[in-house]
Amino acid sequence: MQGFTFSSTAHLICATGSAAGLAEQCASRGARRVLLVTDAGILKHGLLDDVLPGFASADIEYAVYSDVLADPAEALVLAATEQARRMNADLIVGFGGGSSMDTAKLVAYLAHPAQRQGLSDIYGVNQATGPRLPLIQVPTTAGTGSEVTPISIVTTATGKSGVVANQLLPDLAILDAQLTIGLPGPVTAATGIDAMVHAIEAYTSKHRKNPLSDLLAREALRLLSTNLERAVNTPHDLEARQAMLLGACLAGQAFANAPVAAVHALAYPLGVSFHLPHGLSNALVLQQVLRFNLSAAQGLYAELAPVVLGERLQSGDAAQQFIDELLRLHQATGLPLRLSDAGVTRESLPELARSAMLQQRLLVNNPREVSEADALAIYTAAF
């Protein structure tokens, strides 16, 4: 066996209703001043209503930064960091989807009183070398897995940039399905497919693929594929929702240690240029990337086929059945199937392909090498 390393969030609570004890978890870590990083939708839908009273009971001062937007920009991260500094926050909570949790990671790092690095200093892999404040993550969507990854994605003037460092790994993740009740079907579908892509790309990653990530990716894919339709069609099904949260978390643990590849590399330019949700961007290119990779990853796709098909797997080409089942799930969710259905223009495809080539951090992990011409062909086939 080839040697490997594996890192993840130190503590995980997976239980319906567990978010109500957030203040107690903060108090147990000695926190006296807490900044909660979230978005306006979380406040609008009252997801913090049962959480915030606990801070008064625990005698903890708190503030809420609720200006997070999808694909957070540098200015947003810096504004949240400044609020944390002004209140001398000693613990940061990310409460929401991937954008809120990604922002919270960077705030926890940049707002530490002894921090000497700025945001521009830490883009890339292992450039963040200083201390961070304690960090708790509470996901409200089952998708990004940001609660267990050392990765934060920021939108810059030139596109998307990543900060990747173990310092960003949270201390605690709280998975509470009650927070995902009422999510619109398209959001549930897109985030669920995003998590499935994490599992698939971790399992087929060219670099750092390892037995532990493989185990997590397979179980994640099982949980996600068998509960996605239930979660979309019966949004108050707590059992399906909790399974989706755990599946997304396991997929996050997998890809944090066996990185994602071409699906994400081609999805990022769609988010930047057309402001598509990240999960939808992944879904729109998934089929064509899988077909492109088939010659190099056929055996691995065949291994994943029984995970998503179970007893429905037939004799014959298992890898193709795997790809077909993922298409069926995509169709069943009601999400747009083609780039053109989501507002992407044909004339934009060459520029999208050029932008995808900038994501070499991800493309090197793909089981098959991707050229700019390949990227253009994939976008064209997905159009």
Residue 1 pLDDT greater than 80, yes or no: no
How would residue 247 be classed by pLDDT, with cut points 50, 70 and 90?
A: very high
Mean pLDDT of the chain: 96
pLDDT tens digits for 154-183?
999 888 889 999 999 999 999 999 999 989
How would residue 273 be classed by pLDDT, with cut points 50, 70 and 90?
A: very high
Question: For residue 30, what pLDDT is reported?
Answer: 97
Q: Which two tokens stand for residue 362?
A: 């991800």
pTM of the model: 0.96
Q: 25-30 — which CB contacts under 8 Å span 24+ positions?
A: 25/136, 25/172, 25/174, 26/55, 26/58, 26/60, 26/91, 26/93, 26/136, 27/58, 27/60, 29/91, 29/134, 29/171, 30/90
DSSP 36: E
Provide mean pLDDT across the span 232-257: 97
Provide mean pLDDT across the span 227-250: 97
Domains contained in the chain, CATH given: 11-178 (3.40.50.1970), 184-382 (1.20.1090.10)
pLDDT tens digits for 75-96?
999 999 999 999 999 999 999 9
Question: For residue 160, what pLDDT is reported?
Answer: 84
